[in-house]
Structure 1
Amino acid sequence: MNKHIYEHFHPSEQHFVDKASEWVEKAAVQHAMKRTDFLDPRQCQIVTMLANRSGDVVFRLDGGYAAAERKRAIIAPEYRNVEDEDPGILVLSVASEDSKLKSLDHGDYMGAILSLGIKREKIGDIVVLEGGGCHCLVAEEIGDYLRLQLQQVHRVHVRTELLPIDRFEGASVTFEEMNLSVASMRLDGIASDAFRLSRAKILLPIKAGRCRVNWKVEEDPSKPLKEGDVVSLQGFGRFRVTEVEGVTKKGRIRVKIGRYR
């Protein structure tokens, strides 16, 4: 692989760039098809960039539903029709008669699954259902194992069932809307207001590489944000810049953000 390509990526991404480049090269040169594990949005961006650089491969990203955040990639020689390939995604339904199930959240289900020795890469989106329980998108190769082994989530006994993808109940993303008045569109300024932290305290995690803008590590506190950007801060959550409304008479910028719940 041309080492100059590293210039386009954060150093922490180089290992994945190497893997993705190998998938693309094998599809182009060895005519091998690759179906990946679930990728996060930034990894999907990297695969897209690398695959588009080659005129000899085709690819497809599929997370089980249109709004999926985590997706599997299918990378194949350019003569293959990847739309006909099965992405290998099943729905693991988790339910219980215990009323405590309604108090469980995304982290509870994820923790229970990972405690069984499952790698995060085998798990797609997890949607907590309004009436309790969840639908978890999983790689088909671990479906039966999870169905048999997942019996308890945060001390709540559960029953599991594998469903076809057409029975998946998609997520309805909800936001806590906030109206901000900021001096500039700098990352540190907006993030400090969004997470209710002082400017000094917001600088530490950003400079430590714990902040991502559009799923890419961002260590520059002065990075200007724009409408549509998604910012996540490890340990604090994430938000989207939903609207830049304009400038006040005093020269401040009115911004609307939505914090993910």
Structure 2
Amino acid sequence: MTTGIYQHFRPEERILVDQLRDAIATAQVEYRPVVTPFANPRTRAIARMLLGDDDSMGMWSDGAFDDAEWQRIVFAPDYFTPQPEDFQVQLLDIKYPTKFAELHHSTILGTLVHQGIERDVFGDIETDGTRWQFAVDASMTNFFVDNIDHIGRVAVRLFPVTRDERVHGLSDWEEEVALLPGLRLDALVSHVYHVSRQRAKELVEHGEVTLNWQATSRPDAEIAPNDMVSVRGFGRIAVDAVTGQTAKGKLRLVTRVIRKQRGH
């Protein structure tokens, strides 16, 4: 692969592309499996593009939870068949006084990211309505257990659990088809959340929108399959596919959407 590979990706993805290429090269040269940090859907899509048609190498991913959004990737020679332990993912169960307190995804996420670690050290946060769990890099298990004793104002304790004990999360996603004049970020936000194009543009420019968990101030940023868009106060949009054009020339996008209840 030459430097021409970068033309297929966004400029801000260049470091990520290099990291993935290094992991693939290590697996090839040392002829052994290599596991990455937790990767979001866009990162996994880039990894698949980088592997291309190389039949000598395989790619697998796993995040412990069913249909996990964040998963660790294993690159390995074709002889290798990964087992769950090869992904080095540990589930942690959050024990808290369920009769007297409530936990929320945003509060748990905020607690984790304020531990001074990168986002790719932990995976999904899931709940079945009462129990809460999250996935972590197995090598960091003791760090989380030893350092987290409160989430918000709620006293908690963390306990490692097996995959068989994992919660089966409640999905808030709704599948929708979006018809857009183009693949601009502001056009998607405007369409999905029923706000004016100008309002969508302002949301992006004012830092209220992230694209693949990265802040962006570009309303004209081009969206692509496997992108994840988050709009503060509104919700999230997962772009699953671009399936063609309508007779009037609009692009047809298959998406999944979460809408927050306004004022909550």
TM-score, shorter chain, exceeding 0.5 = yes
Q: 1:139 to 1:10 in 2, by over 3 A?
A: same
In the alignment, the residues of structure 2 paired with residue 77 and residue 146 of structure 1 have an alpha-carbon distance, to the nearest angstrom, of: 32
Q: 1:208 to 1:17 in 2, by over 3 A?
A: farther
- Equivalence for 2:43: 43
Moved more, 114-123 or 61-70: 114-123
Structure 1 unmatched runs, 5+:
none
In the alignment, the residues of structure 2 paired with residue 151 and residue 90 of structure 1 have an alpha-carbon distance, to the nearest angstrom, of: 18
Which structure's CA Rg is the greater one? 1
Q: 1:175 to 1:80 in 2, by over 3 A?
A: closer
- Equivalence for 1:259: 257
- 8 Å CA contact 1:212–1:218 kept in 2: the answer is no
Query: What SS class does the counterpart of residue 138 from structure 1 fall into?
Result: strand
1:138: Cα distance to partner? Answer: 1.2
In the alignment, the residues of structure 1 paired with residue 78 and residue 58 of structure 2 have an alpha-carbon distance, to the nearest angstrom, of: 5
Q: Write out per-residue CA displacement over residues 207-228 of structure 1, whole angstroms, 9 at most, x where no aligned residue.
A: 7995548x9x896759699xx9
In the alignment, the residues of structure 2 paired with residue 256 and residue 10 of structure 1 have an alpha-carbon distance, to the nearest angstrom, of: 21
Q: Write out per-residue CA displacement over residues 142-200 of structure 1, whole angstroms, 9 at most, x where no aligned residue.
A: 112212221100011012211011211122212478899x7857654452143343211
How does 1:239-250 map onto structure 2 within 5 Å? 239=237
Q: Write out per-residue CA displacement over residues 41-67 of structure 1, whole angstroms, 9 at most, x where no aligned residue.
A: 111111122123433322211111341
Q: 1:51 to 1:257 in 2, by over 3 A?
A: closer
Q: 1:108 to 1:14 in 2, by over 3 A?
A: same
- Superposition TM-score, scaled by structure 2 size: 0.76
The amino acid across from 2:42 in the alignment is R
In the alignment, the residues of structure 2 paired with residue 153 and residue 79 of structure 1 have an alpha-carbon distance, to the nearest angstrom, of: 43
How does 1:108-147 map onto structure 2 within 5 Å? 108-131=107-130, 133-147=131-145
Q: 1:60 to 1:218 in 2, by over 3 A?
A: farther
- Equivalence for 1:90: 90
In the alignment, the residues of structure 1 paired with residue 223 and residue 59 of structure 2 have an alpha-carbon distance, to the nearest angstrom, of: 32
Work out which of the residue numbers 154, 164, 188 in structure 1 matches 2:152.
154
The amino acid across from 1:77 in the alignment is P
In the alignment, the residues of structure 2 paired with residue 78 and residue 241 of structure 1 have an alpha-carbon distance, to the nearest angstrom, of: 30
Q: 1:85 to 1:168 in 2, by over 3 A?
A: closer
In the alignment, the residues of structure 1 paired with residue 61 and residue 156 of structure 2 have an alpha-carbon distance, to the nearest angstrom, of: 31
1:167 aligns with 2:162: no
In the alignment, the residues of structure 2 paired with residue 60 and residue 50 of structure 1 have an alpha-carbon distance, to the nearest angstrom, of: 14
- Equivalence for 2:57: 57
The amino acid across from 1:30 in the alignment is E
- 8 Å CA contact 1:38–1:70 kept in 2: the answer is yes
Query: What SS class does the counterpart of residue 86 from structure 1 fall into?
Result: helix
1:124: Cα distance to partner? Answer: 0.7
In the alignment, the residues of structure 2 paired with residue 29 and residue 186 of structure 1 have an alpha-carbon distance, to the nearest angstrom, of: 39
Structure 2 unmatched runs, 5+:
260-264
Number of residues of Structure 1 aligned to a counterpart in Structure 2: 250
1:92: Cα distance to partner? Answer: 0.6
1:78: Cα distance to partner? Answer: 2.6
Q: 1:220 to 1:4 in 2, by over 3 A?
A: farther
The amino acid across from 1:33 in the alignment is P
1:71 aligns with 2:71: yes
The amino acid across from 2:65 in the alignment is Y
CA RMSD after TM alignment: 3.9
The amino acid across from 2:47 in the alignment is V
- Equivalence for 1:191: 189
